[in-house]
Amino acid sequence: MSESTGLRARKKERTRDAIGDAAVSLFLQRGFDRVSVNDIAAAAEISKPTLFRYFPTKEDLVLYRFVDHQGEAARVVRDRQSGIKPVTALHRHFRAGLDRYDPVTGLSDHPEVVAFHRLVFTTPSLAGRLTRYQLDDEEALADALGEGIQARLLAAQVLAVQRVLARTNWQKIADGRTAHDVHPEAVADADQAFNQLP
Amino acid sequence: MSESTGLRARKKERTRDAIGDAAVSLFLQRGFDRVSVNDIAAAAEISKPTLFRYFPTKEDLVLYRFVDHQGEAARVVRDRQSGIKPVTALHRHFRAGLDRYDPVTGLSDHPEVVAFHRLVFTTPSLAGRLTRYQLDDEEALADALGEGIQARLLAAQVLAVQRVLARTNWQKIADGRTAHDVHPEAVADADQAFNQLP
DNA sequence: ATGACTGAGTTGCTTTTTTAACCGAGTAAC
DNA sequence: GTTACTCGGTTAAAAAAGCAACTCAGTCAT
């Protein structure tokens, strides 16, 4: 088994995580625009230019956790077993995320995750930037689905569905319920939503 | 109060410590020449050239803890209050080291320190290199003491005395006694030794 | 409205680190 | 004896990080 990543790559990854974690932690403590990039750089013990070498903008410091899932939908479609319809593959993948309470499904009641989602949804510049990421994601998914306008339409609908499902789940949890409690409804919602897709 | 060390300096110091600690820890586990510099570099998560930029030779990886005390005797003499004889200043300084169980006096029963001393004394190349350090130390002390042959003689005698005292203390502790138990004898030995110096 | 600040990004230059390749001595295999 | 290791230590080139100083917006006094 090769888990040898090379010194350079390993340290870069660690630096990236350190910056991202420091940023999110500070943002959760004090709010997005009460924290300067200087604060983050200081907390992560790196210099400001280094910070911007890892993250193009301040917003990306928050959203890099989503970026890591960038293109995931497209990948699911591409890697599906033959004979399985794209929508089915996406449905199963979302369902699996639900079952392991993956934060991207909105179905996580870890306090940090909940706070993080509130941060994103209630900070306009972050929500804005997030939709831009989702557009990229949509495009990739459309490409994976095929060529014409139908592929684009389907891609848009799938991602819209996932967005709504995730927000719905998050909302219920933000209202104080546990992820475990919400799980059955989340599964039912997902089944209904995906099944009425073309 | 300024404790601002600058990012660069702070990280360098940390890297140095990481290398030194990794090295000593491995040496204590497996013995000096059962550990390659590659092992040390890997454990400290730095590359081999980096290791050698921090430490000129493998031996220095062990001895840097002594190097940090390099020139201490000379400094004690130079910084003594006026009216105090050099030997007296050195005597008091050694006595103070005894009182705080400073490892350099040999009067420490921390298992790690004891094992470390055994490592140094029982590994020929290390003992050899250590005496070279002590020669440098001796020269610095001689310069601090004055010009002629007398200064050199005194310097040599002082350091010889300190060496013997430290080894004597260490030997007693290696035989199983506690530092606290040995302390009175160590003080008596030191008093006797320093008092019969010119 | 002008001037002084603050904060997001950037730029040029220097220092540090990684990488991979090498040297030279020792040593074990055959 | 030659071949092939391993190990201490070095070198050159390229990547990455630090530092200081800068631009460009906004903001908030006076």
Judge if B53 and B85 occupy the same domain.
Answer: no
The structure tokens listed for A112 are 């940090």
> What is the rounded distance in angstroms from the CA atom of residue A183 to the CA atom of residue A189?
10
Query: Could you tell me the distance in Å between the CA of residue B47 and the C1' of nucleotide C7?
Result: 37
Domain for residue A1, yes or no? no
A47, A62, A77 - which closes a domain: A62
CA angle A20, A21, A22 (to 5 degrees): 95
What pLDDT is recorded for position A2? 37
> What is the rounded distance in angstroms from the CA atom of residue B48 to the CA atom of residue B45?
10
The position carrying tokens 């020929």 is B124
- Disruptive mutation site among B7, B14, B38 for chain A (greatest number of A CBs within 10 Å): B7
Domain for residue B64, yes or no? no
Return the sign of the alpha-carbon dihedral for residues A43, A44, A47, A53: negative
pLDDT band, residue B132 (cuts 50/70/90): confident
The structure tokens listed for A76 are 């699911």
Please tell me which residue of chain B has the smallest CA distance to A48. B7
What pLDDT is recorded for position B149? 95
pLDDT, tens digit, for every residue of B70-103?
889 999 999 999 999 999 999 999 999 999 999 9
Query: Which residue type occupies A154?
Result: L
SS3 assignment, position A140 = helix
Domain for residue B178, yes or no? yes
Judge if B143 and B183 occupy the same domain.
Answer: yes
Domain hosting A120: range is: 69-195
Judge if B12 and B73 occupy the same domain.
Answer: no
Judge if B42 and B84 occupy the same domain.
Answer: no
Query: Could you tell me the distance in Å between the CA of residue B85 and the C1' of nucleotide C23?
Result: 52
Task: Give yes or no for a contact between A187 and A98, defined as CB atoms under 8 angstroms apart.
Answer: yes
Residues on chain B bordering chain A, Cβ-to-Cβ distance under 8 angstroms = 7, 10-11, 45-47
SS3 assignment, position B35 = coil
Of B7, B11, B47, the CB nearest to A7: B47
Domain for residue A110, yes or no? yes
Judge if A94 and A182 occupy the same domain.
Answer: yes
Judge if B73 and B50 occupy the same domain.
Answer: no
What pLDDT is recorded for position A4? 62
Domain for residue B2, yes or no? no
Judge if B127 and B51 occupy the same domain.
Answer: no
> What's the CATH code of the domain at A43?
1.10.10.60
Say which residues have a Cβ less than 8 Å from residue A196's Cβ, sequence separation at least 6: none
Residue B40 has pLDDT above 70, yes or no: yes
pLDDT, tens digit, for every residue of A64-88?
888 888 889 999 999 999 999 999 9
| DSSP state for residue A81 in the 8-state scheme | P
A44, A62, A80 - which closes a domain: A62
> What is the rounded distance in angstroms from the CA atom of residue B90 to the CA atom of residue B111?
27
What pLDDT is recorded for position B1? 37
Domain count within chain B:
2
Q: Which ranges constitute the DSSP H helices of chain B?
A: 7-30, 37-44, 48-54, 58-67, 72-78, 86-99, 111-122, 124-145, 149-174, 179-195
The position carrying tokens 């306008």 is A149
Q: Which of B13-17, B36-40, B147-151 has the lowest mean pLDDT?
A: B147-151
Domain for residue A182, yes or no? yes
Of B7, B46, B47, the CB nearest to A47: B7
Q: Which nucleotides of strand D are protein-proximal, with an atom < 7 A from a CB? A: 6-12, 15-21
Residue B4 has pLDDT above 70, yes or no: no
> What is the rounded distance in angstroms from the CA atom of residue B93 to the CA atom of residue B97?
6
Taking each helix axis as running N to C, give the angle between helix A149-174 and helix A111-122, from 0 to 180 degrees, rounded to the nearest 10: 120
Domain for residue A125, yes or no? yes
What pLDDT is recorded for position A141? 94
> Shortest Cα distance from B7 to chain A (angstroms)?
7
Residue B2 has pLDDT above 70, yes or no: no
Task: Give yes or no for a contact between B80 and B86, defined as CB atoms under 8 angstroms apart.
Answer: yes
The structure tokens listed for B112 are 């790690």
> What is the rounded distance in angstroms from the CA atom of residue A152 to the CA atom of residue B38?
54
Judge if B52 and B74 occupy the same domain.
Answer: no
Return the sign of the alpha-carbon dihedral for residues B129, B132, B136, B137: positive
Taking all residues of chain B, what is their mean pLDDT, rounded to a whole number? 92
Say which residues have a Cβ less than 8 Å from residue B140's Cβ, sequence separation at least 6: B70, B71, B73, B74
Judge if A56 and A115 occupy the same domain.
Answer: no
Q: How far is CA B156 from CA B73, B89, B118, B162, B188, in A?
A: 11, 16, 24, 10, 21
> Shortest Cα distance from B49 to chain A (angstroms)?
13
The overall longest dimension of chain B from CA atoms, in Å, is: 52
Percent pLDDT > 90 in chain B is: 79
Domain for residue A181, yes or no? yes
Judge if A92 and A16 occupy the same domain.
Answer: no
Judge if A47 and A23 occupy the same domain.
Answer: yes
Please tell me which residue of chain A has the smallest CA distance to B11. A45
A62, A80, A97 - which closes a domain: A62
Judge if B108 and B177 occupy the same domain.
Answer: yes
Residue by residue, pLDDT tens for chain A (198 residues) are 334 688 999 999 999 999 999 999 999 999 999 999 999 999 999 999 999 999 999 999 999 888 888 889 999 999 999 999 999 999 999 999 999 999 999 999 999 899 999 999 888 889 888 888 889 899 999 999 998 899 999 999 999 999 999 999 999 999 999 999 999 999 999 999 999 998
Taking contacts as CB-CB distances below 8 angstroms, the residues of chain B near A10 are: 45
